[in-house]
Amino acid sequence: MDFLGKTCPVCSKNFREGEDIVVCPKCGAPYHRECYKEKGKCIFADLHRSKKSWREVYDNEPEQTTDSHAEETVKCPFCGENNPKTALICRKCGNFLTENFKSAARYPEDDSDDEEKPFSLEDMPEDFRIAGQGSPFAIFIDPMGGVDKEENFEGVSGAELSKHVKANTTYYMPVFKKIKDSSQSRFNFAAFFFTGGWYLYRKQYVRGAVITILYFLLIAGNYIVTNWWSSPLWKEVYSAVSEAGITYPSYNDYLSWSFSHYSQAELCVMFLPYVFSLLSFVIKLICGLRANRSYYHHNLKRIRKIKEIQSSENVLKAISKDGGVNIPLAWSMIVSYLIVIMAFSMF
């Protein structure tokens, strides 16, 4: 049979004229004789189980190019972006790189037709993080989110940056690349909901402390003004309008009465809680919009500082120790917030 231009499934090199080629008797898959001896058997156990031949499935595959760039990258079937050859997720569109994902999830080699075996975790590439290890529902994830380890982030490599981020790198690494390449970012909902707490959790202590104190003062001020001054005044307005015999009063009726019977100072107190609420929302919105950018620059600043004072062999270890998240502080913030809310509700 003519296998010229086809690829040996073991060494990934094209067959050439005159080479010693052997063929699997079960599925017809071709190998270099030395490659077959290296494996000791055919690696297409999935074809043996399904009773399919190698030509039925693989005969239409495109010939391997000799271009060195093509050998080092894999093209996304959805957007056409060239990704690192070990990536499972496209760094541009976020879709799975089909062939790599199939390869990572392939069953262990087995020439028998017996029942299928579970995934072999030892055969997985080092760059794949395994979630739910030992479970039949284990998920294989690219921890770099499709970003190359050698990607240059303003003098910091992708590997160093991911080491410092540590937690949830599959989200942050593609976002950081987008910020670097196009100055565009994504909205961070965690920072929107937790504001200063998120910054403290991500070890941005100064910024987190300032935002937390400011946000706390707005919440405390809103609660105090509402319960001690604004709410009693609004109750007076509702009672007065009702006593005036206005049928089905509208909000404008309440406003007209309050503007005509209260001083400017009292009106400011009545509407101050709305100002506090608006300012609180603005802070949350700014945190959501700016969090990823500030975190990106925070990581770069910390890594550069470490690289200035650490020897090259200890850099990654020092970066990993300095980065990551502060879980105890995050829980402390949640507990403190609940205690403060309960304390206010008692007065």
Predicted confidence (pLDDT) per residue in 80-137, tens digit? 777 777 666 666 666 666 555 444 444 334 444 444 444 344 444 444 444 444 444 4
Predicted confidence (pLDDT) per residue in 155-197, tens digit? 999 999 999 999 899 999 999 999 999 999 999 999 999 999 9
Structure-token pair, residue 248: 């089905």
| Helix H or strand E segment including 130 | strand 129-131
3-state secondary structure of 91: coil
What pLDDT, on the 0 to 100 scale, is given for residue 333?
A: 79
Residue boundaries of the structural domains of the chain: 1-64, 69-106+124-142, 189-345
**How many whole angstroms separate alpha carbon 188 and alpha carbon 202?**
13
What pLDDT, on the 0 to 100 scale, is given for residue 282?
A: 96
Predicted confidence (pLDDT) per residue in 238-248, tens digit? 777 777 666 66
User: Pick the residue with more confidence: 119 or 224?
Assistant: 224
What pLDDT, on the 0 to 100 scale, is given for residue 114?
A: 41
* pTM (predicted TM-score): 0.58
Beta-carbon-side half-sphere exposure of residue 202 (alpha carbons within 13 Å): 27
Predicted confidence (pLDDT) per residue in 268-299, tens digit? 888 899 999 999 999 999 999 999 999 999 99
- Residue that is written with structure tokens 């189980």 in the block: 49
Mean pLDDT of 205-231: 90
Structure-token pair, residue 17: 């004229």
3-state secondary structure of 5: coil
Contacts of 243 (CB under 8 A, 6+ apart): none
Q: Looking at the predicted structure, is the pLDDT value of residue 335 above 80?
A: yes
* Per CATH, domain 1-64 is 1.10.20: no
Contacts of 167 (CB under 8 A, 6+ apart): 324, 325
Of 48, 35, 170, 64, nearest to 110 by C-alpha is 48
**How many whole angstroms separate alpha carbon 132 and alpha carbon 58?**
32
Predicted confidence (pLDDT) per residue in 39-65, tens digit? 888 887 777 777 777 776 665 544 444
